[in-house]
Amino acid sequence: MNARLPETSTIPQRIAALRAAMASAHVDAALVPSADPHLSEYLPGRWQGREWLSGFTGSVGTLVVTQDFAGVWVDSRYWVQAEQQLAGTGIQLMKMMGGQQTAPHVDWLAQNVRTGGTVAVDGAVLGVASARALADALAARGVTLRTDLDLLDDVWSGRPTLPLAAVYEHAAPHADLPRAGKLEQVRRAMAEKGAQWHFVSTLDDLAWLFNLRGADVSYNPVFVAHALIGPDDATLFVADGKVNADLAQSLARDNVRVAPYADAATALAALPADASLLVDPRRVTYGLLQAVAKAVKLVESVNPSTFFKSRKTAAEADHVRATMEQDGAALAEFFAWFEAAQGRETITELTIDEKLTAARKRRPGFVSLSFGTIAGFNANGAMPHYRASAESHAVIEGDGLLLIDSGGQYLDGTTDITRVVPVGTPSAEQKRDFTLVLKGMMALSRAQFPRGIRSPMLDALARAPIWEAGADYGHGTGHGVGYFLNVHEGPQVISHYAPAEAWTAMEEGMITSVEPGIYRPGKWGVRIENLVLNQAAEKTEFGDFLKFETLTLCPIDTRCIDLTLLREDERAWLNAYHQTVRVRVAPHVSGDALAWLEKRTQPI
């Protein structure tokens, strides 16, 4: 066992301590992914090891350390941020390019670790599909993969424990379907796939399935747990003290037993030899699945709950519409303040976050932000996942563009919106970029498409006006959004970087973001984002067609538009959208906010 470092240690000291631990364990390379035992996007503190070791705070990235190399692989959203945060640490920025078929860090390990060498990664946070791909690539080069080591425990003295926030019911009227009904839905899907048992680790699946919510992960109302669902009952594995007696009784009435979090592997090991177990290889970890006896038949498929929760019911859609009105009112209050305060108050990117968060907190049903607010002025807006900090932020003054990407978690829905507004006088080039992005957003928002189309195939609709101008952007165009759940959820994803697999099909009731962009590094960034709902459009001899209903209710700043680039039909769409925003948000605001709303929704 190696000596643990104090929290005041530097990044080079932490990497050195990890190398010492690797040497003691006879490991040539250590892999530290951005992951936890639930393969979450936002991680509880205990599993933020990649950030602790590297200092890179982006939500996605993979750290690889050998005795003479350390590198963090990130995609284009984080290149500028990672370059800044890794400077002086001895850790290299490794740029991931869109469209790569295999994980580039896997290729690097296979090419650079010596034959007969060993790569270590904590199997408890490594997805089954990822583990298989890594093991195959390494084995082909004569390299061994070890998944039984958690080297972070050897060096991280202040490593957080499991989160202990209480679990609570998400009950009617906010929850439309009862827990027993959801469990029955999943059991029918299990039976159709020939599975008697089903193991679930993904936190948003668990929250949806059991009509429960928590506060274990920043921005997402979920709780750390696993579940094993059988033919007649289910077991929820959760840390002691998180489920009180009343909630335990409520769960018991639906044949759900509560057991200690650490007992999940034991329960998997106890499955009978003739059992069949449904698991999603993309959503369960290799370490946990190792506990299952070899004789148990594994049925590998996407979690049924992933599909069910993505298709919002009519009642849930109505709740979300109401939430969008409240969120739109908060935005109207914020922007009214912002425009009035320019030139009178000192406004920074941090101020934007404070004022916008305060406006949302005043709205009924508000629980938390749905992600950390991104407020980027001019050059900072060119970094898609930029976050202002006390140490580094811009003052909003002069001329330029301010990009604000924000959202809220409400009892009746989850919001995510990006708007770009002018500060001073925007340039002709800035207006051109803004208008091209707007044209891309409108092109996809107005689309009609066959039901069941694989969602990545829709990506080109938003990019076409931007491509035509010789521009592009390095992130996806859209992601699924939960119902008072994760702001990023599947199975749908609108991105040509994602594989167009059958399980990504678009179905009625899904809520998805539409958010094209253009980014000029060192200058400015433009992204315009609305959330949309899949609705039935029409049936023809060619099949069923869907269309989008735009859910987000906030004006798009027409001062940034180059009107010469808009067609008449595009102007008509924008005017109709603004009329809808005005009619639905106006009853929830008054005074300066109402005046701002009426001014910013005037037709063009």
The pLDDT tens digits of the residues spanning 430-453 come to 999 999 999 999 999 999 999 999
Cβ–Cβ < 8 Å for 3, 16? no
What pLDDT score was predicted for residue 230? 97
- Average pLDDT (512-525) is 97
The H-or-E segment that residue 13 falls in is: helix 11-24
- Average pLDDT (9-13) is 92
Give this prediction's pTM.
Answer: 0.91
Is 6 a residue whose pLDDT tops 70? no
Rounded Cα gap, residues 62 and 70, in angstroms:
11
Rounded Cα gap, residues 352 and 557, in angstroms:
17
What pLDDT score was predicted for residue 1? 40
Which has more confidence, 78 or 103? 78
Confidence of residue 27 (pLDDT cuts 50, 70, 90): very high
Tokens of 57: 């705070």
In 3D space, the residue among 498, 505, 334 whose CA is nearest the CA of residue 406 turns out to be 334
Is 169 a residue whose pLDDT tops 80? yes
User: 3-state DSSP call for residue 572?
Assistant: helix
Residue-wise pLDDT tens digits, 241-269: 999 999 999 999 999 999 999 999 999 99
Is 209 a residue whose pLDDT tops 90? yes
Q: Which domains does the chain have, with CATH numbers?
A: 11-155 (3.40.350.10), 168-308 (3.40.350.10), 311-600 (3.90.230.10)
Confidence of residue 42 (pLDDT cuts 50, 70, 90): confident
The H-or-E segment that residue 79 falls in is: helix 79-86
Residue-wise pLDDT tens digits, 527-585: 999 999 999 999 999 999 999 999 999 999 999 999 999 999 999 999 999 999 999 99
Cβ–Cβ < 8 Å for 417, 406? yes
Task: Sort strands 62-66 and 70-74 into parallel, antiparallel or unpaired.
Answer: antiparallel
Query: Residue 489 — φ and ψ, nearest 5°?
Result: -140, 155
Lowest mean pLDDT among 159-168, 328-337, 360-369: 159-168
Residue-wise pLDDT tens digits, 280-294: 998 999 999 999 999
